Amino acid sequence: MKEKKINKEEVRYIAHLARLELSKEEEEKFSRQLREILAYVDKLKEVDTRSVAPTSHVFTLKNIFRKDERKDSLPVEEVLRNAPQQRRTQFQVPRVIE
Amino acid sequence: MNYEVSIGLEVHVELLTKSKLFCGCSTRFGASPNSQTCPVCLGLPGVLPVINKKAVEYTLSTALALNCKASNFSRFARKNYYYPDLPKNYQISQYEEPLARQGYLEFELEGKLRKVEIERVHLEEDAGKLIHGEATENIEEKDMSFVDYNRTGIPLMEIVTFPVISSPEEAYQYLVNLKKIPKYLKVSDCNMEEGSLRCDANISLAPKGEKRGTKAELKNMNSFKEIREGLTSEIKRQSHLLDKGKRIIQETRLWDNKKKKTYPMRSKEWAHDYRYFPEPDLLPLEIEEKWIEELKAKLPELPQTRCQRFIREYSLPPYDAGVLTDSKELADYFEECLKSFPQPKQVSNWIMGEFLRLLKEENITVEEVKVSPTQLGKLLKYLKKGTISGKLAKVIFEEMFKTGRKAKEIIKLQGLKQITNEKSLRKVIDEVLEQTPQAVSDFKKGKGKALGYLVGEVMKKTKGKANPGLVNKLLKEKLSIL
Ligand SMILES: [Zn+2]
């Protein structure tokens, strides 16, 4: 399989989705690093997995449920303790509206 | 030109579990901001979600009622995007492995049976609620938004149709009928005002016989009526463009209910790149046949089936049957009432008339009504026997509705029993005739109207308690010998 090339365009796109601001140098640097990481992961493709089902994790457990029961929530002062800005027990953020 | 319209609907329904989907926080509506949150639903680092079994059951039951096939294997997935209403920066949803697929909903549209195919039913967590500064009086808050995470993590069931709906009216009817199902199953109250039912649409047009055109997504519609209006306005907009040979661009448009038209969403933040991947914090689900069979056995009779049965079994007009089966509670009330008064059409008239009128007037639900179905049955019995007149029955029912007192009690207490005793009626008639010689002589001269006047006088004197038929008969007798 051909290795996937990561160009600067893609790095900028991913950074945008993750709300990260990158400098020109960082774009360069991360393009290179991501290429290296992907090349490393590509090594895994050498293993023949045709008879293995895709797994999302290593446990064989299934159907772990909890009962529909209420538990105490956090006191609202605790909830807001890390909030940089708050008002009337709400988190305050820059205006987002369509 | 005339185009073929393809509409698909995506309905989100909040489930009536006691606790949230992945944590024990309460789901109660209307609590003070952020009072129903915990590290799990706030997305604090290091926490582990655990699936609420009831939410899965509610979703599966609804899917089965919608004729879906439950998946043997199902899994949650992370949907990644940044928005302040989403504290984890991903929503736990389902992607390639929803709980159920391939169902349909049947309903009547303009007298014909329509079948809308459902693509999938899945379970996900709700996001928080954003309140924008413009909603407040405070000027300094105008460029701020406020977040309440109480809603975050409440189980949300998503029901997606294939793009097979061909008109705004059909979309409307689909929604009206779909809404009944979770309500019948008591898994959601489907209240659009409280946001426990929300709907987005996608719509595309194409010349007849050609393959589907580019679709636009429609959001921000707050009632079924607005959905119908939004779709109608979008058909107009798209056909206008197509008529002029222009292309439709794939985009999300928002409904402006004041201007009654759609406009494109400005931001491109919602570029559909959610980078889904299997949720590593949750274990997959293997849904056994036995569980499905158990849930199937527990399904109540569904609205469409019940409506058909009412028409067949009780010889009700389809309109009556439709109204009565609109909610499970009303249909139950009707059938319970029949047990003490087995006259379906009469019971139906009373429920559709007085009962629903008062329900609306008092703004309460069927479950809150103080009159038991048996009591309504008893009242109708008195009416049938002639103990009370139809007019009085309505007065008594209103009293029953407001106080919860029994029909018998009210009749006794207020002396409302119809006077059917001929002797006492004759006495009243004699008095009336004595006091209205003019009317008597008019009658003698052949003026038919005079009789009506005399009947009215007798009714007045008896405060409406006399049996009008009997008064009529006795009056005529008396007048003929005068
Ligand atoms: Zn919580």
Query: Closest partner residue to B145 among A57, A74, A95, by Cβ?
Result: A95
What is this structure's pTM? 0.83
Q: Which chain A residues contact residue B35 at CB under 8 A?
A: 73, 76, 89
Asked if A57 is an interface residue toward chain B (Cβ–Cβ < 8 A), one would say yes
So what's the pLDDT on residue A80?
A: 95
Confidence of residue B163 (pLDDT cuts 50, 70, 90): very high
CB contact under 8 A, A89 and B39: no
Confidence of residue B57 (pLDDT cuts 50, 70, 90): very high
Range 73-112 of B in CB contact (< 8 A) with A:
75, 80, 82-84
Structure ipTM:
0.83
- Report whether pLDDT(B311) > 90: yes
Across the range B87-95, mean pLDDT stands at 95
CB contact under 8 A, A90 and B33: yes
CB contact under 8 A, A61 and B52: no
Task: Tell me the C-alpha to C-alpha distance, in Å, between residue B88 and each of A22, A65, B43, B280.
Answer: 22, 21, 5, 14
User: Quick one: what percent of chain B has pLDDT higher than 70?
Assistant: 96
| Residue ranges covered by each domain of chain B | 3-293, 301-413, 422-481
Task: Work out how many CB contacts closer than 8 A connect A with B.
Answer: 129
Asked if A41 is an interface residue toward chain B (Cβ–Cβ < 8 A), one would say no
Torsion angle of the four alpha carbons B236, B242, B245, B250, in this order, in degrees rounded to the nearest 10: 110
| B95 vs B411, more confident | B95
CB contact under 8 A, A63 and B286: yes
Confidence of residue A1 (pLDDT cuts 50, 70, 90): very low
CB contact under 8 A, B51 and A65: yes
- Report whether pLDDT(A57) > 80: no
Across the range B314-342, mean pLDDT stands at 94
Q: Which chain B residues contact residue A80 at CB under 8 A?
A: 34
CB contact under 8 A, B75 and A90: no
Asked if A58 is an interface residue toward chain B (Cβ–Cβ < 8 A), one would say no
Across the range B282-287, mean pLDDT stands at 92
Nearest to B22 by CA among B51, B57, B62, B56: B51
So what's the pLDDT on residue A60?
A: 76
In CATH, what class is B422-481?
mainly alpha
Q: What average pLDDT does the structure give for chain B?
A: 90
- The nearest CA of chain A is from the CA of B401 a distance in Å of 36
Cα(A78)–Cα(A66) distance, rounded to whole angstroms? 25
Q: What is the Å distance from ligand 1's center to B35 Cα? A: 10
CB contact under 8 A, B56 and A65: yes
So what's the pLDDT on residue A2?
A: 47
Asked if A73 is an interface residue toward chain B (Cβ–Cβ < 8 A), one would say yes
Least confident of A75-84, B46-55, B265-274, B302-311: B265-274
Query: Closest partner residue to B132 among A59, A61, A97, by Cβ?
Result: A97
Across the range B67-81, mean pLDDT stands at 94
Least confident of B228-232, B329-333, B441-445: B441-445
Confidence of residue B136 (pLDDT cuts 50, 70, 90): low
pLDDT tens-digit readout, B402-457: 888 888 888 777 666 666 677 778 888 888 888 888 888 888 887 778 888 888 88
Collapsing DSSP to helix, strand or coil, A89 comes out as coil
Q: Which domains does chain A have, with CATH numbers?
A: 1-48 (1.10.20.60)
pLDDT tens-digit readout, B468-478: 778 888 888 88
